[in-house]
Structure 1
Amino acid sequence: MAIDVRNEKNFGLWGSILALVAAFMGAIPYIGVFGSTLSLIAFILVLLALKGIGDKVGDERPFKYYLYSVIVAIAGVVFAIVLILIGAITLPKGGMNEPYETFGIGMVLLGIILIIAVFILAVYFQKQAWEVMYEITGVEEFQKTAKWLWWGALTLIILIGSILLLIAAIYQIIAFSNMPEELEFRGTYRSPIY
């Protein structure tokens, strides 16, 4: 039985385009605030697309993985920023007080390491979402999105990763663009996510 996913396809396509535009806007001074708003709208559109597709084909994994990705990213970054702020506040302001200095530097470094770890974990969940979308739709670009996203995250520290993440974002747009407007219903199978 064919299921109409035209609306979800459009949500995913526009959300993916807005996410890419928001990423570029974030780099422009004074316009970055608009980029954050666009990012939120893009996230909601992609989440609606994945939720709708998952509900219609009976597989909630894409929605859950994508949602886990965002929850991990937000919670982890907030916690890391708190650690960095604590570290910055405890650094001495002039005189040398070694225990506070060591603690402050340690907290800042811990916060930076946590940001990197959280980013990789969030990308892992997002990668899982796109791989499941490939399983559901058969659109090869979803699998390529997952691959480029993963390698981009792992190589971001040497800066080539930003180019790979850009390629992943482009493949995500192409994937939603190439997604059929009708999918086959696969029953009520719901895979557990651990």
Structure 2
Amino acid sequence: MKQKTIDWLRETVPGKPWKEVYKLYQETFPDELRKLSYIKTVCYKNGITNGLNGQFKKNRVPWNKGMKGWYAPGSERTWFQKGQSSPNERTIGSEYDSAGYLLVKIKNEGSRYDKWRPKHILVWEKANGPVPEGHVVIFLDGNHKNFNLDNLACIPRGIHAILNRSQLRSDNADITKVRITQAELKRAIKEATRHD
């Protein structure tokens, strides 16, 4: 870019939004076909800034001051009434797939994580009680749709990490069980040798 143009940018850019600068640039230099991104790069390399960061200046009044509670006329027809539920609200017991895991709605109140629980954990807990702290329930054959109790195992998070890190998972449940034992043994050896 020519020095004359850079000097023009030095004078013009401060205090103006980039779109306005670009419009003025096109009017002033109609024969120079440059994109706004190029002009911004030239300004950046030459230490030219518009000084605008999108923040309100001190004592500047926002456009919506005093409009609390304002709404477009007619929009009140679509407001929820007290006690009314959303038409797409799912009932307790509903299921949906989230990233390959089936979730079951267990209650209507609370956050999303309070309302929905993974189905495989619910199946395991129904037979065995709550999942112990620091443990996870896994699918032994890797099939996230196989909720057979024989296909679910509750293992410590540390063993789970070893299975993932060492790629010991298998689509055969029996092989995965053996590899869990292998991971537990590996962990026990590591613990025993740490104290030597």
TM-score w.r.t. the length of structure 1 is 0.20
The structure with the largest helix share of the pair is 1
Higher relative contact order (CA 8 A, sep 6+): 1
The structure with the largest strand share of the pair is 2
Q: Which of 1 and 2 has greater Rg?
A: 2
TM-score w.r.t. the length of structure 2 is 0.20
